[in-house]
Amino acid sequence: MSTRAERFAGLSVAIVTPFRDGKVDLPRLREQIEFQAQAGTTCICPVGTTGESPTLSHEEHERVIAESVQAAAGRMLVMPGTGSNATAEAVRLTKFAASAGADAALVVGPYYNRPTQEGIYQHFKALAESVDIPICVYNIPARTGRNIEPETIIRLADLPGIALVKEATGSLDQASQVLAATDLTMLSGDDSMTLPLLAIGGRGVVSVVGNLVPGDMKALCDAFDAGDMHAAQALHLKLFALCRDLLGLASNPIPIKAALAMLGRDTGEVRLPLLPLEQPLAAKLRQAITAYGLEPQLA
């Protein structure tokens, strides 16, 4: 099935923002991006939820976008987070991303101020009309406080600049309604929902677990595309417990940063108001990593 932004089909990885001594650790950021390039990842998504975008200054946000585009060097697509609860700020960030060479913009629904559906529509319309790169509508009501209703997404699909949806509502009914009425490229916003979403017409995932095992999540998407449902199901079941713990033990990206450190790929601290993973939960995460077949370093 061909969709509007088919080149984004497959594995996108929501990469972390490494910090060291209170500053963005650019050398470690480049290492993380190189890791994804070597894994054959389709697209990286910096400065999203996993990238702790709410704690970045405007200057840091733009620097991470620019560094990510440069480090990807055309080997992967780059779709940075450029959302805001202020439309003017989202437009500014999205314009910067386009000028820096990003391939698309991942735009979360306006959060905290709880706009109406018409307000959400006008917000994304303004963004779509402000740049030439595709816009991915990121719908995650658990974080924003407002669902972008399927009827609103279907309206947005009439705008040429709206090309993708990152679906993180957990509702296959909502996803099905959008897929039945549009040709938007839908990506799962929840690792555990990737295979179910592919089964109804989704085209890939924006993955957190891909920071650790991009090859396995890519293999799941590739197996599904090849019609090998048995292999896709086996990979889904293998990944499930690790995906659950990475998003369930504490708020993302606390567990993924802890896991990277356990595996010798330390990306530094999380920024307040987030705190490091508490010791009892860290022990559970270590068990999940070991059970998966990875080898954490000694505590």
Confidence category of residue 297, pLDDT binned at 50, 70, 90: confident
Q: Average of pLDDT values for 141-156?
A: 97
pTM: 0.95
What pLDDT, on a 0 to 100 scale, did the predictor assign at position 299? 59
The predicted-structure confidence for 221-269, as pLDDT tens digits, reads as follows 999 999 999 999 999 999 999 999 888 999 999 999 999 999 999 999 9
pLDDT(1) > 80: no
pLDDT surpasses 90 at 3: no
**Mean model confidence pLDDT for the chain:** 96
pLDDT of 34 above 90? yes
What percentage of the chain has pLDDT greater than the value 90? Answer: 96
- Give the SS3 label for residue 246: helix
pLDDT digits (tens, 9 = 90+) for 46-95: 999 999 999 999 999 999 999 999 999 999 999 999 999 999 999 999 99
Amino acid, res. 189: G
Q: Give per-residue pLDDT as tens, 187-207.
A: 999 999 999 999 999 999 999
Residue type, 252: N
Q: Residue 211 in contact with residue 260, Cβ under 8 Å?
A: yes
Integer CA distances (angstroms), 289 to 120, 278, 280, in order? 39, 16, 15
Asked if 24 contacts 64 with a C-beta cutoff of 8 angstroms, the reply is: yes
Just list the catalytic residues. 138, 166
Q: What is the pLDDT of residues 207-220, one digit of tens each?
A: 999 999 999 999 99
Element (H, E) at 186: strand 185-188
Q: What is the pLDDT of residue 90?
A: 97
Site of tokens 């669902």? 147
Structure tokens at 103: 């391939």
The class level of CATH for 6-226 reads alpha beta
Per-residue pLDDT band for 298 (boundaries 50, 70, 90) equals: low
According to the model, what pLDDT value does residue 291 have?
95
